[in-house]
Structure 1
């Protein structure tokens, strides 16, 4: 089923083919998955408006995605006749996923979210001029507001919120967006108190995207790129300027929608960076974060042509084996409180089944 022609991407199927969403969730659960992601990755007020839907229709559709995931979970528990624990993760893509063409791999965001969104005024860049602190701060707050608005759609609906177990911020390309997400989670906590919402906060993770093994954000236009150390620091050590309340840190961090070829090296870098942050006592209450890994299935998506460059048969055959080896190594590292592993784009149920088999026989 081709979803590339819709600005809503997978969310379009919530409207057109809800039974397909349930069936897809069930296929992954039957393959061994125990966390399923809602089909809300690209869902936001802006993407729905661009597709011709009202804000009310957008809200109803986003909430329906949670219901569909829960329907699949319920059906699986019944058919498996077991006490299997299945978690629902609320999928929230980056601001770049709401743009057309999407910008989650490059992070070329328009003002106020970034320096520019088109090449009309010069070469594209995803970072502000060195020393432009005001624009940097404004973009962080704008990104925080973008993420907060989506979070509140679910938080203000007690039934939907009760069905969600985890919040998954996915495919985040920029350091300042990580900071914006942390501010959004802080604002969510404050809103819950201010509005008297009877709900509990959820564990949450941030999945970074590192095309070709590199952070897409530059330190300044034309400069060197940010590093894994910078990503980890933004997730755990960064504090908003001007003081004030501390902002929450994620329960887990990791990598998604990235080539499996570069995952192993990136995990080693991330493990070292987390150990350094732990040594500086930047982690909340000394808690170790979870490592969250779900690389793509080896195929590469061309955002311009909206088509896939298919991986070789050998690459797909080794996907589960290589990922298992990475997980075994990471699980022995004292930096992490645990590991969540799976697959992102083009990692279908068959690859998940292979990964499940590999992990069952792994020495961990």
Structure 2
């Protein structure tokens, strides 16, 4: 029987509340223009107060975790609109260079985003009574997106990566089909293995920006790999974390708890099993996230993430996906010889229900897409899933695009009402 673990403040310790969409919050509440490349680099660098105020708005709404604000690029197409729920995850040297930043400036801005989140946490603690401060520990999560977030057009939702990171980049040429899968032949297998290694190098390089500066690293509580559209990139992330863990151990430091959240546009995973073929299933994604045979060779480290889940996906698709994730983990762990006593946390932060009209450049609201209606639907799904205690150790709940402090406040009230 499901038994919540209670803190002294009356909150269920198996449920943590994440913030919402920092990008769209800056647009909606703080009237910032988010329709330019790396739009958030400028406020991080020149208008840091607006970033701090946005973090504070979510903390005052009751969020337990806030995500950092390293710059992101915006894209709008007839198919997708993406401001990435937190404007933080597109930090990469390639995207900074394309916007005229030097390598030194890129590192400085990336690390500064962590300090801004820390400053917001410090100010929030000052606002609270001493006893509340002791009972509520706010966590800072370093937000890192997929390789696709560095591309133009961005590829978080499709995963069309150019060589050597994938089979081919996106093309809008007539009669040319796009694919994110390698051929199921010996050469395709070799290229796929090479792509995993290249993606691991990409993710390791970004992690090192933060881990190589002890003053920045100590401020981070969690690392969030978000909106990952490909199972081979999931494997690459695990490989990168394994390599970083070895580096940190050599310096007497530790890796932070980390999660990987995947993206499911239209309720399906973007990755194809083979060019033009069926999509990869939720159970296959779970296998990439948690299986023992993640590494391409037995010598590779393959740590399991602290949390796994879904972000930047419509709430309408969550029920079947969460059921598949739960069943997939239960099945996988029944086959594993050693789970190391590991039960992952479920991490889920869907979008609001609003849709973006590209032609008019306005958001079109939908019923139950905002406020208490959104919070009630998410809480019902998450609470039901959390009762699978043999599968999940806890649940992190929050929002992505078009979810602001009002929705997080409504979600926190749901959590407290049922504590």
What TM-score do the two structures reach when normalised by structure 2?
A: 0.82
Match for residue 49 of structure 2 among 19, 28, 47 = 19
Query: Greater RCO between the two (CA within 8 Å, min separation 6)?
Result: 2
Structure 1 stretches of 5 or more lacking a match? none
Match for residue 98 of structure 2 among 45, 50, 56 = 50
1:199 aligns with 2:232: no
2: CA distance between counterparts of 1:136 and 1:225? 17
Question: For the Cα contact (< 8 Å) 1:228–1:266, is it kept in 2?
Answer: yes
Aligned counterpart, 1:127: 181
The worse-fitting range, judged by mean Cα deviation, of 61-70 and 245-254 is 245-254
Question: For the Cα contact (< 8 Å) 1:156–1:197, is it kept in 2?
Answer: no
2: CA distance between counterparts of 1:328 and 1:309? 29
Question: For the Cα contact (< 8 Å) 1:39–1:91, is it kept in 2?
Answer: yes
Aligned ranges 1:314-329 → 2 under 5 Å:
314-317=368-371, 318-329=373-384
Across the two proteins, how many residue pairs are aligned to each other?
360
- Using the TM superposition, give the Cα deviation of residue 11 of structure 1 relative to its aligned residue in structure 2, in angstroms: 3.8
1:227 aligns with 2:281: yes
Structure 2 stretches of 5 or more lacking a match? 1-30, 71-88
1: CA distance between counterparts of 2:206 and 2:392? 29
Aligned counterpart, 1:69: 117
- Using the TM superposition, give the Cα deviation of residue 327 of structure 1 relative to its aligned residue in structure 2, in angstroms: 1.4
Question: For the Cα contact (< 8 Å) 2:229–2:271, is it kept in 1?
Answer: yes
1:149-182 Cα distance to aligned partner (Å, 9 max, x none):
0000000000110000000000001011000000
Question: For the Cα contact (< 8 Å) 1:278–1:286, is it kept in 2?
Answer: no
2: CA distance between counterparts of 1:89 and 1:11? 18
| SS of residue paired to 2:156 | coil
Question: For the Cα contact (< 8 Å) 1:112–1:138, is it kept in 2?
Answer: yes
- Using the TM superposition, give the Cα deviation of residue 242 of structure 1 relative to its aligned residue in structure 2, in angstroms: 2.8
- Using the TM superposition, give the Cα deviation of residue 300 of structure 1 relative to its aligned residue in structure 2, in angstroms: 3.9
- Using the TM superposition, give the Cα deviation of residue 284 of structure 1 relative to its aligned residue in structure 2, in angstroms: 4.1
| SS of residue paired to 1:138 | helix
Question: For the Cα contact (< 8 Å) 2:355–2:366, is it kept in 1?
Answer: no
Aligned ranges 1:57-136 → 2 under 5 Å:
57-81=105-129, 82=132, 83=134, 84-119=136-171, 120=173, 122-131=176-185, 132-136=188-192
2: CA distance between counterparts of 1:305 and 1:169? 31
Aligned ranges 1:1-364 → 2 under 5 Å:
1-40=31-70, 41-81=89-129, 82=132, 83=134, 84-119=136-171, 120=173, 122-131=176-185, 132-193=188-249, 196-237=250-291, 238-281=293-336, 284-300=339-355, 307=361, 309-317=363-371, 318-333=373-388, 334-362=390-418
- Using the TM superposition, give the Cα deviation of residue 362 of structure 1 relative to its aligned residue in structure 2, in angstroms: 2.6
